[in-house]
Structure 1
Amino acid sequence: MTKSRVVIAEEIAESGLERLRNAGFEVDIQLEKSPEDLRHRIVGASALIIRSATNVDAELLAAGNELVVVARAGVGLDNVDIAAATARGVMVVNAPESNILSAAEHTMALILAISRNVPQAHSALIQGRWERSKWEGIELASKTLGILGLGRIGALVAQRALAFEMRIIAFDPFISAERARELNVEMMSIDEVIAQSDILTIHLPKNKQTVNLIDTKMLALAKPSLRIINVARGGIINESDLAQALGNGTIAGAAIDVFVTEPTKSSPLFELDNVVVTPHLGASTREAQDRAGEVVADMVCLALNNEFVPFAVNLEASDANETLKPFVPLAQRLGRVFASLVDAPPEIFEISITGEIGAYDPGLISISALKGALSVWTNNAVSLVNAPVIARQLKIQVNKSSSKTTQHRDYVNLV
């Protein structure tokens, strides 16, 4: 039997590669290939592992006509066309928690660097200039740290900033008041956070709502003493507006790890001495790289073995409890049996689960049954990823329900 081939387009930890080899897969390392070369080399491959430099667009996905999964060894998926992957039934996975500690620590490093002008003073001294008075900094104690985005990384930053005796304020519409109290964080509007912060750090995802979020209008709300940090995604801050605000004294400083275009070797920010920049080092620790490689290797193994993949970002199911897993193949078989008994696809397809399994989200069981049925009703390649998409294209309404109680005297669980 031919081994499934996994193309490695960007470097991951050797321990991750060993996990793939030990699982019986062919590891095909294809680093630093042009888009055209990669399209040729992806033909016939079952999986593709990338980091942030490889652009997985519709053209590449079409070339990978046997792809089952695309795995990003890291968090951000800006370089993956998730909609195109989903339409083709290709699973997209990442390693969402692999670099959160490294990113939080790099945020603290940049906060300290811009507060005490460490890189500027270092550069002056090694050039023979002793400039103590020029590079006077500020203390963090009693200062207000504003956090935009209080998710996993933002929360870690908040915890570490408390050790510096900072006041923590934040904006995040998805964080409950109870969670904010646990973190000793005051929640407020984004305008209030920017207006009150001495240091502002960004930990938001990049999307249509956040691109150019921090622009001239927003920066005008800030104190002249504000120092702004971005270890999230390039483009959330408008770089031209930021450079102008730093140059005219609207704000005091910035520390930037991410840029609109990467890699970048020129920027108006590079010309300013109140800016600290790093080349996207937020996740660049040995520990984070090892974790990311190992996690995505595990996710690829699960996907290629037709098991549930917990870090799939384009699967319309939120729960993969061990209790549900034995029912996944059963639901697929039931879907195929049902589809073979009807003359045409119905307008409504309803899946009900009851009993012990009814305590969990019915999404995984429902998609499995739908996949089985669609494999009879359509000639398209159907997977757990694209089954809901195909159903919508066929105008099949999918209803799902669950209940913890069952009236059947012979069965504890029913699908």
Structure 2
Amino acid sequence: MDKPTQTSTESTQSAEPTDKPVVLITEELSPAAVIALGPDVEVRRCAGTDRAALLEALPGADAVLVRSATRIDAEAIAAGSRLKVVGRAGVGVDNVDVPAATRAGVMVVNAPTANVVSAAELTVGLLLAVARNIPQAGAALREGHWQRSRFTGVELSGKTLGIIGLGRIGSLVAQRMRGFDMRLLAYDPYVRAGNASQAGVRMTGLDELLAESDFLTVHLPRTAETTGLIGFDALQRVKPGVRLVNAARGGIVDETELYAALKEGRVAGAALDVFATEPCTDSPLFELDNVVATPHLGAGTIEAQARAGVAVAESVRQVLAGRCVPEAVNVHMGTVDGELAPWLALTEQLGRLLTAAAAGLRGKLLVKVAGEITGQDTTALELAALKGALSGVVQGDVSYVNAPLLAQERGVGSELLSAHAGAAPHHSLVTVSGALPSGEVVSVSGTLAGRGAGGRLVEVCGFEVDLALAGSMAFFRAPGGRSLVGAVGAALGGTPIDALQIAHGAPVANTGNEVLLALNVGRPVTRELLDEAALSIDATHSWSLDETA
């Protein structure tokens, strides 16, 4: 984390030009979050609940940092014409229109693990509160009533706890409730029974869990599948006298059906931190003495807020620095560690080069990885190649976020192929290929020379080369049998050419009597100069690649 003396520039003005990327903060965040943004951004603030102020401030922002009260919908994303990233300092992104952000190429990042401890601890507190009637007894005492027998509760020890959803939070709850000597059951179709048994939890079907549990806790995201999961049918199958806790998401428990089950006595008590509609200050459930209710306090600790703010600020800083955040909500690229990161940049350049060589992008893009790199999760390389390939044919920004959508709109598919380690002529190799309308396959291959080294181009269109993949590049396919460098140099009219970076490609495929001239040049080559140089050597095909294009 940056030192406190390196805090970001603060500004209250909404859209003045600045040399630094602008981060708009719309709700109160931990001071540590602002520090984590670093000194290289300008922080501006507005009230996210003031719609007019938000829409006025967004055009000047490169990033916006929100919590749960600010609504970043399609209108807000359209207003933020410079937006690169929306950061949600918390877990859920219900207040962010993720599909609209994806279409606009705006990354959405959150802090999915920042509040897990706080949410688990609140669940434990609610279990104790609903078992021992703690809030109700305290409220009665404050009103002058000493009613010990009225608030007789039940022990947790020896009872069965049914955990619905054994993810991060559910697992932490299980870990803590073992200390209360509870029998632990869990329902989660995505968790292996072996993993659960190591944690002292027995996996069951939902029906068995409902029938055997004295206490139920819910730890699921709200989706179309989980909404109303604990409704009429489920509440008919519960063990009589069960006590229910929901500190996950409102709507998973049907509040109307829960009210009926509480009134009938099938459910002895309920503790709710979340509601189908929030804020919720008026519910029939609040009239019942056996209901404990809190206003969505799951992440409401100093520690969780600090962790969430810092985590999302660091992700925002990464995006603004041009780096990818693989764990972003709307990016699907697997695991990217420090060793894979330089391969992302290389593969993106190969994608751009392929589009230039093929004079467009069509059909399917094949990304083949071989050698030592196959020991890693290379899912991200398919996305990097697609991003690079599209950047040469799409107007506007192409990002890791919108590249799949843009490809789909153009009928372009992609596939990742992996060869076994040791199958590559280099320690590791990435090849990006596609087919021309004629059926000819165009391919480009690259590798990294070593740790910290830049990318090298080793194959282009069936020709073997060895060229630094950097800066501005020009390529010519021409008849062989004569000197090409002098004619090309003269045609380029004084454009600097690094003689050490000129490669005559040796054919590694059936390319007839053609040769490939590939060279790094000191500055981008215009189409006119490229055509003139191609004409001087009777080139059948020529193209250029500028790294900064």
TM range (shorter): over 0.9
2:369–2:428 CA contact under 8 A, matched in 1: no
Q: Hey, what does 1:17 align to over in structure 2?
A: 34
Give the deviation of 1:410 after TM superposition.
4.7
Q: Structure 1 residues 408 and 273, CA, compared in 2 at 3 Å: closer, same or farther? A: closer
Give the deviation of 1:323 after TM superposition.
1.2
Task: Using CA pairs under 8 Å that are at least 6 residues apart, name the structure with larger relative contact order, 1 or 2.
Answer: 1
Give the deviation of 1:97 after TM superposition.
0.8
1:299–1:311 CA contact under 8 A, matched in 2: no
Give the deviation of 1:411 after TM superposition.
4.7
2:371–2:426 CA contact under 8 A, matched in 1: no
Q: Hey, what does 1:35 align to over in structure 2?
A: 51
Q: What SS does structure 2 have at the residue aligned with 1:146?
A: strand
Q: Distance in 2 between matches of 1:23 and 1:365?
A: 31
- Does residue 245 in structure 1 map to residue 278 in structure 2? no
Give the deviation of 1:80 after TM superposition.
1.6
| Residues 122-141 of structure 1: per-residue CA shift (max 9 Å, x gap) | 01111110100000000001
Q: Structure 1 residues 180 and 128, CA, compared in 2 at 3 Å: closer, same or farther? A: same
Name which of 335, 344, 353 aligns with 1:337: 353
Q: What SS does structure 1 have at the residue aligned with 2:109?
A: strand
Q: Hey, what does 1:398 align to over in structure 2?
A: 414
Greater fraction strand: 2
TM-score, structure 1 length as denominator? 0.97
1:53–1:79 CA contact under 8 A, matched in 2: yes
Name which of 306, 309, 317 aligns with 1:293: 309
Give the deviation of 1:54 after TM superposition.
1.7
Q: Hey, what does 1:103 align to over in structure 2?
A: 119
Give the deviation of 1:110 after TM superposition.
0.3
Q: Which moved more, 1:179-188 or 1:131-140?
A: 179-188
Matched ranges for 1:158-177 at <5 A: 158-177=174-193
Q: Hey, what does 1:308 align to over in structure 2?
A: 324
Give the deviation of 1:310 after TM superposition.
3.8
Q: Distance in 2 between matches of 1:392 and 1:363?
A: 18
Matched ranges for 1:189-204 at <5 A: 189-204=205-220
Please provide the CA RMSD for this pair. Answer: 1.4
2:46–2:53 CA contact under 8 A, matched in 1: no
Name which of 405, 408, 413 aligns with 1:389: 405
Greater fraction helix: 1
Q: Distance in 1 between matches of 2:381 and 2:39?
A: 27
2:47–2:54 CA contact under 8 A, matched in 1: no
Q: Distance in 2 between matches of 1:377 and 1:355?
A: 31
| Residues 186-232 of structure 1: per-residue CA shift (max 9 Å, x gap) | 11111211111111000011000111111122111112211100000
| Residues 221-253 of structure 1: per-residue CA shift (max 9 Å, x gap) | 112211100000011111111112112212100
Q: Hey, what does 2:233 align to over in structure 1?
A: 217
1:359–1:402 CA contact under 8 A, matched in 2: no
Name structure 1 gaps, 5 residues minimum. Answer: none
Q: Hey, what does 2:388 align to over in structure 1?
A: 372
2:347–2:430 CA contact under 8 A, matched in 1: no
Name structure 2 gaps, 5 residues minimum. Answer: 1-17, 432-549
Q: Distance in 1 between matches of 2:316 and 2:428?
A: 33
Give the deviation of 1:408 after TM superposition.
4.3
| Residues 65-104 of structure 1: per-residue CA shift (max 9 Å, x gap) | 1111111111112222211111111111111110000000
Q: Which moved more, 1:354-363 or 1:378-387?
A: 354-363
Give the deviation of 1:339 after TM superposition.
0.5
Q: Structure 1 residues 408 and 214, CA, compared in 2 at 3 Å: closer, same or farther? A: closer
Give the deviation of 1:414 after TM superposition.
3.5
Q: Distance in 2 between matches of 1:251 and 1:31?
A: 42
1:47–1:69 CA contact under 8 A, matched in 2: yes
1:211–1:237 CA contact under 8 A, matched in 2: yes
Q: Hey, what does 1:319 align to over in structure 2?
A: 335
1:91–1:315 CA contact under 8 A, matched in 2: yes
| Residues 164-203 of structure 1: per-residue CA shift (max 9 Å, x gap) | 0000011000110111111111111112111111110000
